[in-house]
Amino acid sequence: MIIVTGGAGFIGSNLVQQLNRAGERNILVVDNLAPSPNLSGPKFLNLAGAEYADYMDKREFRAALKSGDFEGARVRAILHQGACSNTLEDDGRYMMDNNFTYSKELLHFALEHKIPFVYASTAAVYGASTEFKEVPANERPLNVYGYSKLVFDNYLRRLLPEIKSTVVGLRYFNVYGPREQHKGRMASVIHHFTRQLKDTGTIRMFEGSGGYDNGEQRRDFVFVKDLAHINMFFGGLLPDSPRKPVHAIVNAGTGEARTFKAVAEGLMQVHGPGRIEYIPFPGDLKSRYQHYTQADISGLRAAGYAAPFTVLKEGVRQTFAEEPVV
């Protein structure tokens, strides 16, 4: 059995679909399908067409772990995508329980049973930094989401010298792709730009801020299917997966930043002509916004992952071939 937490979410559901394409069906999907004011639609639609053996609510899953219900289960890998990724969430107690304590529970279960454990960290741990190498000096989160993820990364760091089985943290950069229509304001820049272009013919982006001119803010955009492949690689689920345990916290991005303006112009090449309009920068984002991200992927390569990344134009084409915007 393969456990995918957050399996109905954006990244988790794409991971389930990619596991299916690799012939995997014995999958336990864990998620919370309760309605949330932060969502713009139901998550369950992301699992349409997916094949998996079982589903558990997150609360029931945590209780089952604590009560020993999974003792004796043959778990091949835990791919932990479950988290609250809302960068505007201010409830620190909720964020720490969801992103830190829950992750600790899964980690210790995996370590006890020597199960490969691959989990979603985030580039938000770097926050105000302009250097994106996986070292503490660069880690300056701007919001409680990034902080909660960093606390777990640091917890793992203290354990790494003693760990015998695979444990890999993946610091996701700016992810885009199919199955993010439910994310509302937290959907990717690419999703928002495409929706605007199709609906109005105008792409609206924040005016220059943080020392950057209009449209010159830069992000490292990574295709969600590439992240699914990385999870499967370190989870020991691919023919070329590492034969020896891997212990690492690494960046998961392409290593190439693109300006928002260049992304908008690329979308117009795919979807048709339009115009760009610059809008005032939202006040509630000013103190927690990353104007620039670009992954240093030397750690990812050193950990053994050598596959190329999907170029942006091809990722956009695949996204909207699979999930057309009408």
Instruction: Mention every residue, 6+ apart, whose C-beta is less than 8 A from residue 218.
Output: 212, 257, 258, 259, 260, 291, 292, 293, 294
Q: Which of 119, 126, 145, 305 is catalytic?
A: 145
66 belongs to the catalytic site: no
> Domain ranges in the chain?
2-179+221-255+295-310
User: How many other CB atoms are there within 10 angstroms of residue 321's CB atom?
Assistant: 9
* DSSP states of 130-154: S--SSSGGG---SSHHHHHHHHHHH
Task: Please give the pLDDT value at position 249.
Answer: 98
What are the pLDDT digits (tens) for 41-69? 788 899 999 999 999 999 999 999 999 99
The helix (run of H) or strand (run of E) holding residue 271 is: helix 260-271
Q: Is the pTM of this model over 0.75?
A: yes
145 belongs to the catalytic site: yes
Q: Which residue has the higher pLDDT, 164 or 322?
A: 164
What are the pLDDT digits (tens) for 148-162? 999 999 999 999 999
pLDDT tier for residue 76 given thresholds of 50, 70 and 90: very high
Mean pLDDT of 233-252: 98
Q: Which residue has the higher pLDDT, 181 or 175?
A: 175
What are the pLDDT digits (tens) for 98-129? 999 999 999 999 999 999 999 999 999 999 89
* DSSP states of 174-215: EEE-SS-GGGGGGS-HHHHHHHHHHHHSEEEEEPS-TT--TT
For 2-179+221-255+295-310, which CATH class? alpha beta
Task: Please give the pLDDT value at position 325.
Answer: 45
Q: Which of 52, 126, 172, 183 is catalytic?
A: 183
